[in-house]
Structure 1
């Protein structure tokens, strides 16, 4: 691990000295700078993250990080009170959509100078992953996970329907979904759906924005302007509402949990989700494949789900320098590869070779899809209310209400949330 520090160009002692905390021998200093790191990784990814922290601690004598594992909800509930009492963490990880909220409240350190440094190891990061942690033009965190929504499909059902190639365009996708939809008794309710396409409470509410991207649309522009009432979004809604209501490729009124259950029970041939769907499929005995969301008429892009970590405003100069040294270590090529394999998410660095992650087929598939990633509502502070407005729009559209009324109303709701 000391070799990794050297390769990464990380001079921890130098960083601390620049921060005004000169490191020396045990006799000359009070010991290493000690940092507390809160995160919510509780599964195998938590074990891998702990190993990375332990290896970092063992690789040098100037910084010691102690982790505290909490649920993501507890972190969200307790971070600001803890920081107000000067009892919070120096480093904290959280779902990326929450980072702008805390950056806006002054809870995170601006990392612009560190990103600009030659030893930050950020030059090869997925630029959309960096966009995810950028608020008002400045990076207030670093990505620890960034994965696009992708299509999980049941290979056995595809084979039974005679479909050998996964669709590449919306029209091919819709046609395949029709072919995979089975209503054997003709009662109007299929026993098998081609696609589980929920109209509300979707995966991080990123599914319908993904469909908007495909038609050339979006939800918000420059973090402060609503653009949901557009011809492109109308086209996307009309196309997929018709596929649900007229072609019956998916149930109406379906939510995200219901979509998971349809796919895991073998009653839906396709489902849009994240890496956790791999374990759900395996536990259900489904032989599955993973593919990119097919290209719409204007673009191929998918909302990406992410997690980020940042340095809190509680940290002093020495603590900030120590945290930045850890971030540089985290993004070393070897460590980034280790983290990708252990977390099951695609590498955050774009220069990780395919053969480096070949032992994990899920990571291989997600790495191939990674170029379609697009940060969802980057820099938007009140993203929850924005996505609630999208949720209301899509659910009511699938229920049959007029887009002439729904789109202007959604535009006003989103703009109000941004303000």
Structure 2
């Protein structure tokens, strides 16, 4: 994979000089000071702020100050701030942005942290893969959650349908749950809402590809044009075209709305759909995405925090102390219960987080989770190619030609 340019020349010189020219991190109080930018603004933000405060009071050597902004504002401002020497030493970001900043030499390699920290072997393997790019770890996961299936319990009970566990069962259940009372070809109630583009985290179709043994990118190579992916697209087009089990031309926003309005019995989404359902009075259940012909699998949505090149040696050591503190077993439980994310550690069981039923359900599904395009710098263009592929395939266009076109577009994105 070709590497994008790092910083502009002047910025690169500044970045290289930061360690030697930055102000002494030990303030008058003799402590090492760190700034931490993040975009957690709801209950997750409250619990993260409490964890930072607890860390600050747990020892006398390090003080972390947080700055909270929307994720897109952080994305727009972190590189200019680092170039000016006014950025954060720690920054949180959605997982798809991590390879971009690692590629631009804005982040510090954390392989030594993973080699030494006792929490590292207990982390979900997929979460570690999520923060790995170019063979090195450049972040510490703060969230890693598999997409899951939400279902409307009332509609299931009315139709006498069991929760499906395989694709065939999924389609059969969706057919029974689809209601077209007036026979006009447009159901009043759909068994499934399967967006064909702009899906949650763009992970719904990769999830389906994984379930049939396919993928989009493997080991830095485009693999979207495969017999497995052709089978997947044809299977779901046939299911939708034959049984009208899902609307066509659907995006994720409309899918959310249909499930919230009680017009859809099954929907694939993230943990926030629990709040959407609660707010709209939908009695919902949570189950793993039904397994494909090859295996059960689910694409994951993630967030990580990273150490920037602005930090000098003392600040880097101090930041790693905080990372260890955050990943400890006790904080993993606290963070999960407060944030709604399943535990990052494999040794935290559902019984430890059963005060939050959504988290407990997602904890049992965490081993199915796979990071979406880990280490892929130009992931936005890759996902755009997949979006065009799935939308046009569900509209009935020839799958073989679409896959060949998508393969070329993904290859070009990887080469940029």
TM-score, normalised via structure 2 length: 0.93
* Shift in Å, 1:353: 2.6
In structure 2, what is the Cα distance between the partners aligned to 1:82 and 1:246? Answer: 54
Match of 2:217 among 217, 220, 224: 220
What is the aligned counterpart of 2:180 among 163, 176, 183?
Answer: 183
**What is the SS of the residue equivalent to 1:295?**
coil
Map 1:149-164 onto structure 2 (within 5 A): 149-163=147-161
Aligned match of 2:130: 132
Residue equivalent to 1:4: none
1:194 aligns with 2:191: yes
Query: How far has the Cα of 1:399 moved from its partner?
Result: 1.2
- Equivalent residue of 1:379, what SS? coil
CA displacement at 1:354 relative to structure 2: 2.2
SS in structure 2 of the partner of residue 173 of structure 1: helix
Determine the C-alpha separation between the residues in 2 that align with 1:36 and 1:251.
47
5+ long unaligned stretches in structure 2: 1-18, 21-25
TM-score when normalising by structure 1: 0.92
Structure-1 residue corresponding to 2:52: 53
Segments of 4+ moved more than 4 angstroms: none
C-alpha contact (below 8 Å) 2:113/2:320 kept by paired residues? yes
Aligned to 1:276: 272
Q: Provide the residue aligned with 1:7 in structure 2.
A: none
Which of 356, 360, 363 is residue 359 of structure 2 equivalent to?
A: 363
- Between the aligned partners of 1:197 and 1:227, the Cα distance in structure 2 is 23
| 1:322-369, Cα deviation, whole Å (9 max, x unpaired) | 110000000110011000000111000010132210111000110011
Corresponding residue for 1:329?
Answer: 325
Residue pair 2:230, 2:399 contacting (<8 A) in 1 also: yes
C-alpha distance in structure 2 between counterparts of 1:278 and 1:290, whole Å: 9
CA distances 1:3-58 after superposition (whole Å, capped 9, x unpaired): xxxxxxxxxxxxxxxx99xxxxx9x9851100000000000100000000000000
Give the structure 2 partner of residue 246 of structure 1: 242
Structure 2 Cα separation of the partners of residues 413 and 207 of structure 1: 20
Deviates more, 1:122-131 or 1:243-252: 243-252
Quick one: distance in 1 between partners of 2:399 and 2:165? Answer: 28
Residue-by-residue CA offset, 1:185-221 (whole Å, 9 max, x unaligned): 0000000000010000001110000000011000001
Gaps of 5+ in 1: 1-18, 21-25
- Give the secondary structure class of the aligned counterpart of 1:345: coil
- Tell me how many residue pairs correspond in the alignment: 392
SS of the aligned residue for 1:239 comes to: helix
Alignment RMSD: 1.4
What's 2:261 paired with? 265
